[in-house]
């Protein structure tokens, strides 16, 4: 592959740009599916088209999944932009599908799903229903682009797939039925079981990250390096992130192995959610977004023992110029990349404290299940709890409302 720097600029702004500074939202996958069938359809068609791009090109699914897996947080940006481009084609000629408003969805594995599918049905099914440009408005079944990735061709001599059994499997697998057979299949019931049984712990850990004073510092909530040396600091996003990889992939499933994880399409839904949790944490702790530290061993873009700060270039992620790199300072706000989350619609609030209250309400509503019940049971605090709950529902409605209120489709 050519050593080209592809600028990371995010999906395009809606045109004309809204006067209030709002940007389109990334929506939870189950909400996107049930609240916005048209964008959902667009997503599946775009992902399908994207996965068929020539594996030899940098910006194919294969090119991105195989080469950029190293830096989990940034890959969905790249992915979102490319998916956006793919979404243009199936949308034509109907402009009402609003491909410019399409944003890659996330899978919130720490919030209780209304339908009880702790692993989304839409990701675990081999087939899925869509309306294609050729199907005359009728729903037809296709191979589900969220289910797996078929290697075309599998190329074991390229060096990408040097490990057995990965170099023999023609597609990405979850809980492979055999670790030696070329014909292994995914065992979907197992990741559903794992996600269901681990749900309570995941929800509690996310709540802890968002609420515990020990987790207010970026170095504490972002990674587990600190945990080893400083007892008393617990869950980090990195720890939670890893546990999802393993719960979804199972033994020798693609998600469980760093080098191969991005070939399972659920990787992107998962990492968009990690990006979202960072955005929420930053909203709650706006001055804590970087670590000034010596780099230790270094990497292929970071010199050994060099000091990293908020203005250190984040190679290889080039900005719009194509020749300079993003920095932590420059990449603080997701709005710089033309997207936000239901929780992080800053433009709706007059003051920082109103905004933070709303974010805290979201966190309580989504992840604070147990403490919420406790408060309601206590007579003294029943009223404040009820007020907080009502406020939260209002904010949630506002959050999802943008998606729901989009102009009706033709």
Tokens of 262: 């991005």
Task: List residues bridging with 25 in a β-sheet.
Answer: 340
**Which span sits near Cu ion by CB under 5 A: 7-15, 26-34, 234-242, 286-294?**
234-242
Please count the other Cβ atoms lying within 10 Å of the Cβ belonging to residue 303.
10
Strand pairing class (293-294; 127-131): unpaired
State in angstroms the smallest separation of the CB of 386 from Cu ion: 39
The rounded distance, in Å, linking the Cα atoms of 334 and 25 is 10
The rounded distance, in Å, linking the Cα atoms of 47 and 7 is 21
Residue number, 217 or 259, with CB nearest to Cu ion = 259
Residue number, 65 or 241, with CB nearest to Cu ion = 241
Contact between 131 and 137 (Cβ < 8 Å): yes
**Which span sits near Cu ion by CB under 5 A: 26-34, 91-99, 205-213, 238-246?**
238-246
State in angstroms the smallest separation of the CB of 123 from Cu ion: 16
Tokens of 331: 């990449």
Report the site for Cu ion in 360-399 (rule: CB under 5 A): none
Residue number, 241 or 385, with CB nearest to Cu ion = 241
**Which span sits near Cu ion by CB under 5 A: 71-79, 111-119, 161-169, 217-225?**
71-79
- Compute how many residues bind Cu ion; rule: CB under 5 A: 2
Q: Does 262 bind Cu ion (CB under 5 A)?
A: no
Contact between 17 and 65 (Cβ < 8 Å): no
Residue number, 241 or 359, with CB nearest to Cu ion = 241
Residue number, 23 or 206, with CB nearest to Cu ion = 206
DSSP 3-state of 82: helix
Could you report how far apart the first and last alpha carbons of the chain are, in Å?
42
State in angstroms the smallest separation of the CB of 274 from Cu ion: 7
State in angstroms the smallest separation of the CB of 157 from Cu ion: 27
Residue number, 237 or 385, with CB nearest to Cu ion = 237
Q: Does 244 bind Cu ion (CB under 5 A)?
A: no
**Which span sits near Cu ion by CB under 5 A: 60-68, 241-249, 310-318, 353-361?**
241-249
Residue number, 220 or 266, with CB nearest to Cu ion = 266
State in angstroms the smallest separation of the CB of 267 from Cu ion: 7
Distances (CA, A) of 341 to 276, 279, 298, 398: 7, 8, 33, 12
Instruction: Report the candidate in 375, 380, 353 with the shortest Cα–Cα distance to residue 364.
Output: 375
Residue number, 77 or 359, with CB nearest to Cu ion = 77
State in angstroms the smallest separation of the CB of 148 from Cu ion: 18
Contact between 386 and 376 (Cβ < 8 Å): yes
State in angstroms the smallest separation of the CB of 69 from Cu ion: 8
Distances (CA, A) of 353 to 43, 59, 356: 35, 41, 5
**Which span sits near Cu ion by CB under 5 A: 235-243, 286-294, 320-328, 371-379?**
235-243
Classify residue 273 as exposed, middle or buried by CB count within 10 Å of its CB (0-12, 13-18, 19+): buried
State in angstroms the smallest separation of the CB of 299 from Cu ion: 16
Tokens of 83: 């998916």
Q: Does 72 bind Cu ion (CB under 5 A)?
A: yes
Binding site for Cu ion (CB under 5 A): 72, 241
């Amino acid at each position: 592959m050519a050593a080209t720097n592809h600028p990371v600029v995010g999906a395009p702004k809606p045109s004309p740009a809204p006067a209030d500074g709002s940007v389109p939202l990334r929506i939870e996958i189950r909400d996107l599916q049930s609240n916005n069938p048209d964008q959902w359809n667009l997503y599946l068609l775009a992902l399908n088209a994207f996965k068929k791009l020539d594996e030899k090109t940098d910006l194919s699914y294969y090119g991105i999944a195989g080469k950029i897996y190293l830096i989990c947080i940034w890959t969905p940006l790249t992915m979102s932009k490319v998916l956006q481009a793919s979404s243009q084609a199936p949308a034509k000629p109907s402009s009402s599908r609003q491909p410019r408003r399409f944003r890659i969805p996330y899978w919130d594995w720490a919030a209780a799903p209304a339908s009880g599918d702790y692993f989304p049905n839409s990701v675990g099914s081999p087939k899925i229903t869509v309306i294609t440009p050729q199907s005359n408005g009728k729903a037809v079944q296709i191979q589900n682009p969220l289910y797996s990735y078929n290697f075309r061709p599998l190329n074991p001599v390229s060096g990408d797939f040097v490990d057995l059994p990965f170099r023999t499997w023609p597609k990405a697998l979850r809980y492979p039925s055999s670790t030696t057979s070329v014909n292994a299949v995914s065992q979907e019931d197992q990741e559903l079981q794992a996600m269901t049984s681990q749900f309570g712990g995941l929800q509690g850990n996310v709540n802890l990250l968002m609420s515990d004073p020990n987790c207010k510092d970026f170095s504490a909530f972002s990674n587990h390096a600190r945990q080893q040396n400083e007892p008393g600091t617990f869950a980090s996003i990195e720890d939670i992130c890893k546990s999802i990889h393993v719960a979804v992939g199972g033994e020798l499933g693609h998600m469980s192995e760093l080098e191969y994880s991005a070939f399972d399409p659920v990787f992107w839904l998962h990492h968009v959610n990690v990006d979202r949790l960072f955005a929420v944490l930053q909203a709650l702790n706006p001055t804590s977004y970087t670590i000034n530290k010596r780099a230790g061993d270094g990497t292929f873009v970071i010199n050994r023992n060099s000091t990293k700060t908020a203005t250190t270039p984040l190679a290889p992620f080039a900005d719009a110029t194509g020749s300079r790199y993003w920095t932590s300072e420059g990449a603080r706000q997701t709005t710089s990349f033309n997207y936000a989350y239901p929780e992080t619609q800053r433009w709706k609030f007059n003051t920082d404290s109103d905004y933070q209250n709303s974010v805290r309400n979201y966190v309580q509503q989504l992840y604070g299940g147990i403490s919420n019940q406790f408060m309601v049971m206590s007579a003294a605090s029943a009223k404040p709890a009820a007020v907080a709950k009502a406020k939260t529902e209002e904010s949630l409605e506002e959050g999802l409302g943008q998606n729901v209120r989009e102009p009706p489709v033709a």
